[in-house]
A = this chain, B = another copy of it.
Amino acid sequence: MELRHLRYFVAVAEELNVRQAATRLHLSQPPLSRQIHDLEEEVGTKLFVRSQSGMRLTEAGRTFLKEARSILAQSQRAVQLAQAASRGGSRPPRYRLRGGRF
């Protein structure tokens, strides 16, 4: 499982329509459909109920959606925090160092 699977999954879960999700991801339907299928295999359960006029989330899908969003958000945060750490020197900013010259 890779973050790509989570990004794709969230898009489909939000659109409830593979074609629209694919468009939003600048992707074509078949690869997206495939990746969702692969994800379901790896997770070990169906995340969607396929039906005409789109897809519906299963209970497992709803649970997984919350987690996936959280993971993606944390991934972005991880990058930002690392950048901040590299710039700010370190640790949550303290407004002035005791005895600091500036």
A residues adjacent to B (C-beta < 8 A): 1-4, 42-47, 58-64, 67-68, 70-71, 74-75, 77-79, 81-86, 89-91
Contacts and interface: CB of A to CB of B under 8 A. Distances in A.
Contacts of A63: 81-82, 84-85
> Chain A at the B interface: mostly helix, strand, loop or mixed?
helix
A1 to B, nearest CB: 7
Contact of A67 (B43, B77, B90, B91): B77
A58 B43 CA distance: 35
Given A1-B75, A74-B70, A64 B82 contact: yes
Given A3-B2, A59-B89, A74 B75 contact: no
